[in-house]
Amino acid sequence: MKKTVIFIFAMFMAVAAFAQGGKELYNKYLGKDGVSSVYISPTMFEMIKQIPDIEIEGGGSFNLGELIKTFDGMYILDIENAEFVSEVEKSVEAMVEKGRYKLLMEAVDGGSRVHIYIVQEGDTVRDFLMLASENGGGSDGGSTAVISISAKMAMSELQKLLASAMQ
Amino acid sequence: MEREDFKRVWLPLSGNFYRAAYLVLGSEQEAKDILQDLYVKLWNIRSSLENIDSPLAYGTRIIRNMALDKVRSASYRTRRVGVVAMEELPLSDTPFQGSAEHGLIEKEMVLKLKQTIVGMQEPQRSVVQMRLFKDMDYAEIARKTGLSQINVRVIVSRGKKMIARALSEY
Amino acid sequence: MKEKDINEIEIPNGLEAEMSDFIDSMDAAERVMAEERRRKGAVRWSYVAGAAATAALLLTFLFRQPAMPEDTFTDPHEAYACVEQALASISEKMGSGVQQARRAGDKIDAGTAKIKELYNRKTN
């Protein structure tokens, strides 16, 4: 009985940790005008892991397949609606202020801004969130892409991704 | 036998098959109809068609029998005796039981598929057609439509779901 | 009609194209159905993947306040391709950040070099 309680408690904790901001955002903007969205569930990631020969592109020492195996959920929002663009940015800022997310990288170059946040548990990255915005000129209201990944990714794996990006 | 091979062998013969059917049925619409039925049957047994020596003779024989069957089952039922003599090959001699590896396609199903696609909104309709009918890859479709690749993938995936739902009764 | 007349039967315009479309439709219908069947099989498999997984699923279901969104993809290969693409774009964006940092680094180096130069000039 005790074991069961501990088990359930542990599961609850795992679920609570998993319920991160990406989903909140996703649910909020799903199906809205000018928003295209992608959700890949943990079940689907399980199935991806079973694909026998994940072909790895990009070459080098970096193995994308290994990294993907640590993922268990992914939300993508592609927003091309000026009103939502600023709204999403504000929501992300609010989430960061609540202290769950830690800024990993910020790059502003002309009209494009990239912010990358992570949620870390010890040496493990549990959640990865990228917010990439582009200011459009004139009538084009700009666009923003949010990619949120829940994972159990070792910090070193993320560093490898960063290293491969530098090449 | 995959689609392109199938088309390469059987499509150029469509005119001959049509004529054979028209000869029996005497109506363009009915001949076309039975020609579609023929393609349904051939498609369903395509893996066992590779060793056919003369596709023209084989197909002509089948479509003739199908046309005759149709004539017989309709208004000619009473004058059956004369027609039976013309029978050369009963359909049961051909491997129409279908092989286990493909799902059997029915004509109604194809109609339903077409209805579903016609009922789709743009750009979904064109994207689904490009992907499923023309086998274009995602990058190509993205280029042609100006949509992002992820967007194209999503549209195709949703389209497939719609089709699967429409075809689920088969 | 006699056998020699058969070639006089007019073939409707676009008959071959029409049949070609028809074959495409059959092929498409078959592929969609095959995929659907494969997917159903896979999902069913995951249901029997042990009590722990079932419990996790159930709890996940109970404790998540907003309903879980529907999976965008039904085919893991497609989902994988999408993840791969997303990672490529992340990598690209990260790369641009890193490059910027490098440029900034170069500028700082140039700046310190200048200071050093001035300093050296002064002391000499």
Residue B17 lies in a domain: yes
Rg, Å, chain A Cα set = 17
Residue C3 lies in a domain: no
The chain-wide mean pLDDT, for chain B, equals: 79
pLDDT score recorded for residue B18: 93
pLDDT score recorded for residue B96: 46
Question: Based on the domain organization, do B52 and B117 belong to the same domain?
Answer: no
Residue C84 lies in a domain: yes
pLDDT score recorded for residue A25: 83
Can you give chain B as a three-state secondary structure string? CCHHHHHHHHHHHHHHHHHHHHHHHCCHHHHHHHHHHHHHHHHHCHHHCCCCCCHHHHHHHHHHHHHHHHHHHCHHHHHHHHHHCCCCCCHHHCCCCCCCCCCCCCHHHHHHHHHHHHCCCCCHHHHHHHHHHCCCCHHHHHHHHCCCHHHHHHHHHHHHHHHHHHCCCC
Residue B117 lies in a domain: yes
**Inter-chain CB proximity B148 and A78 less than 8 Å:** yes
pLDDT score recorded for residue B94: 44
Q: Where do we find the tokens 């910090």? A: A155
Chain A interface disruption, residue of B124, B150, B152, B155, most A CBs within 10 A = B150
B73 touches chain A (CB under 8 A): no
Those residues whose C-beta lies under 8 Å from the C-beta of residue B67, and which sit 6 or more positions away, are: B20, B21, B23, B24, B25, B31, B34
Residue B98 lies in a domain: no
For residue B80, give the CATH number of its domain: 1.10.1740
| Domain total of chain C | 2
Whole-number Å distance between alpha carbons of B111 and A52: 36
User: pTM of the entire structure?
Assistant: 0.50
Residue C123 lies in a domain: yes
**What are the residue ranges in chain C where pLDDT is below 70?**
1-4, 40-68, 97-98, 100-102, 108, 122-124
**Inter-chain CB proximity C15 and B14 less than 8 Å:** yes
Question: Based on the domain organization, do C51 and C92 belong to the same domain?
Answer: no
Question: Based on the domain organization, do C21 and C55 belong to the same domain?
Answer: yes
pLDDT score recorded for residue B17: 93
Residue B99 lies in a domain: no
Residue B144 lies in a domain: yes
Whole-number Å distance between alpha carbons of C52 and A8: 10
Question: Based on the domain organization, do B65 and B7 belong to the same domain?
Answer: yes
Encoding tokens for residue C9? Answer: 């039967």
Nearest C-alpha in C relative to B33: C19
> Cα–Cα–Cα angle for A116, A122, A125, nearest 5°?
35
Looking at C67, C91, C114, the residue that finishes a domain is C67
- Tell which C residues from 11 to 70 touch B, by Cβ distance under 8 Å: 11-12, 15-16, 18-37
Burial of A36 (0-12, 13-18, 19+ CB in 10 A): buried
Count of Cβ atoms closer than 10 Å to residue A98 Cβ? 9
Whole-number Å distance between alpha carbons of B52 and A141: 62
Question: Based on the domain organization, do B17 and B88 belong to the same domain?
Answer: yes
Q: Which residues of B touch C35 (CB under 8 A)?
A: 160, 164
Least confident of A119-128, B92-101, B148-157: B92-101
**Inter-chain CB proximity B151 and A76 less than 8 Å:** no
Whole-number Å distance between alpha carbons of C19 and B140: 26
Question: Based on the domain organization, do C99 and C57 belong to the same domain?
Answer: no
pLDDT score recorded for residue B93: 42
Question: Based on the domain organization, do B116 and B89 belong to the same domain?
Answer: no
| Domain-wise residue ranges, chain A | 21-166
Question: Based on the domain organization, do C49 and C80 belong to the same domain?
Answer: no
What ipTM describes this predicted complex?
Answer: 0.73
Question: Based on the domain organization, do B61 and B26 belong to the same domain?
Answer: yes
Burial of C17 (0-12, 13-18, 19+ CB in 10 A): exposed
Q: Give the domain range for residue B29.
A: 3-93
Q: Give the domain range for residue C101.
A: 75-124
pLDDT score recorded for residue B10: 92
**CA of B103, closest CA in chain C: separation in Å?**
7
Least confident of A131-135, B9-13, B116-120, C63-67: C63-67
**What are the residue ranges in chain A where pLDDT is below 50?**
13-19, 56-61, 137-139
Question: Based on the domain organization, do B122 and B85 belong to the same domain?
Answer: no
Contact between residue B41 and residue B62 where contact means Cβ atoms under 8 Å apart: yes
Q: Which residues of C touch B158 (CB under 8 A)?
A: 72
Whole-number Å distance between alpha carbons of C121 and B47: 87
| Domain total of chain B | 2
Question: Based on the domain organization, do B83 and B8 belong to the same domain?
Answer: yes
Q: Which residues of A touch B151 (CB under 8 A)?
A: 36, 78
**Given C6, C12, C34, which is nearest B28 (Cβ)?**
C12
Chain B interface disruption, residue of A74, A77, A78, A144, most B CBs within 10 A = A78
B154 touches chain A (CB under 8 A): yes
Residue B100 lies in a domain: no
Residue B43 lies in a domain: yes
Looking at C25, C44, C67, the residue that finishes a domain is C67
